[in-house]
Structure 1
Amino acid sequence: MGRRTLVAVARPDGRYDCRTAHWGVDADPVAQSRPLGNGWTASAVLAALDATYEQLVVLDGSVRTYAVCWLDPMLSDIDDIALARTDDPDAFRSWWVDRKDAASRALDSDNRKPASVRHDLLAALRDRAAAVHCPDDASFLRGDR
């Protein structure tokens, strides 16, 4: 199963060279990915991300990994994502899949409203992740430690 990853490599001019990997990355994100585009702005990096990506890796002197978490409980808005910083992407992804499944069941069996389920998903992310960024927040590209 693929693990689509966007790799954003910071440049000295504040822009990013972006790369993509279909099978994810680990020890060497640049070697494990192929070029996608050069000189992207922070907003262009954000615009490229949607729920078809599983993770974002930012290289700017350090390596930061973010899980791309699809918040839409109706599974209809592919752009309704949040980025959750994690040092253990595999464990985080497993937790997120379980959380998302439980949210979908609550939507179906408990007759909860989608907005309420989405709110709970975002709250769970904020409790679990080192940092959470919504799609209109590019501050993660400048570091969030």
Structure 2
Amino acid sequence: MGRRTLVAVARPDGRYDCRIAHWGVDADPIAQSRPFGTGLTASAALSAIDATYEQFVVLDRSVRTYAVCWLDPTLSALDDIVLARTADPESFRTWWVDRKNKACRALDSGGCDPATVRRTLLVSLRDRASSVHCPDDASFLRGDR
């Protein structure tokens, strides 16, 4: 199974050169990815991400990793995501998959409505991640937040 990752490399002009990896990245995100787009605004880079991605990696003064978390418990809206900053992508992903599976089962059992399940997922993300960002707000890309 692939581990799609979008890598955004900051340029001095405030734009990003983006790269894509289908099998994830670790120590060397540049070598483990291929070109995807150059000179993109932060908003344009973020708009390329949907629930088919597992990670978003930003290379600027440091390397920041964000897990792409699909909030939609009905599994129909690919753009219903948030980006959760994590220092340990592997354990975070394991936790998130388990949390999401439980949420989907709760919805399937008929005990909850989709909006409630989605809100619960978002709260648990905010409790677990160092920061959570909506992809329609690129301000978090300006500096290490």
TM, length-normalised to structure 1? 0.97
Q: Secondary structure at the match of 2:38?
A: strand
Moved over 6 A (4+): none
Distance of 2:89 and 2:140 partners within structure 1: 16
Aligned to 1:32: 32
Equivalent residues in 2 for 1:26-65 (5 A)?
Answer: 26-65=26-65
Q: Aligned equivalents of 1:140 and 1:83: distance in 2? A: 10
Structure 2 CA distance for partners of 1:6 and 1:104, relative to 1, 3 Å: same
Query: Would you say 1:70 and 2:92 are equivalent positions?
Result: no
Equivalent position of 1:8 in the other structure:
8
- Find the counterpart in structure 1 of residue 100 from structure 2: 100
Q: What are the superposed Cα offsets for residues 16-52 of structure 1, whole Å, 9 maximum, x if unpaired?
A: 0000000000001001100011000011011100000
Looking at structure 2, the residues matched to 80 and 144 of structure 1 have their Cα atoms a distance apart, in angstroms, of: 24
* 1:51-95 deviation per Cα after TM superposition (whole angstroms, max 9, x unaligned): 000000000020000000000000000000000000100000000
* AA partner of residue 137 (structure 1): D
1:129 and 2:129 aligned: yes
Amino acid at match of 1:109: S
- The gaps in structure 1 that reach 5 residues or longer are none
Partner Cα separation in structure 1 for residue 56 and residue 81 of structure 2: 12
Contact 2:20 2:35 in 1 (8 A): yes
RMSD between aligned alpha carbons? 0.9
State the alpha-carbon separation in 1 of the partners of residues 143 and 130 from structure 2. Answer: 12
Instruction: For residue 110 of structure 1, report the CA deviation from its aligned partner.
Output: 4.2
Identity across matched positions, percent: 78
In the alignment, which residue of structure 1 is the partner of 2:81? 81
